[in-house]
Amino acid sequence: MTVNNYYLFLVAAVVVAAFSQVLLKKSAGRVYPSIIREYLNIHVIAGYALMILSTLLTIIAYKKVDFKNGPVVESLGFIFVMVLSWVFFQEKITKRKLLGNFLILAGIVVFYS
């Protein structure tokens, strides 16, 4: 496999982690009849399973991805979470959020220039 494939693993890890955060947020927004059901429900279990998958993908990616590039790619997670929150929770994408994500993208461009 080429180094580019390992970058795809890292991007996939970021996307999977974003979906995990959405599932966990969905679970946190509900009221459960007991504390056990609060932690043992499909959203929480799937969310943590996706986090484990994300971790495994990250470990695979770091076999060939330079450590200095990892956090830059992982910062894309903020953008994915913003978009997924808009899709699944109808959260507004405010000017402030757009500015913050633009600054993240600008930082990535500056870092790689």
How do the pLDDT tens digits run along the chain, 113 residues long? 888 889 999 999 999 999 999 999 989 888 888 989 988 999 999 999 999 999 999 999 999 998 888 888 888 898 889 999 999 889 999 999 999 999 988 988 888 77
Triad 35, 41, 45: Cα angle to 5° = 115
Q: Say what the alpha-carbon torsion angle 48, 50, 55, 56 is, to the nearest 10 degrees.
A: 120
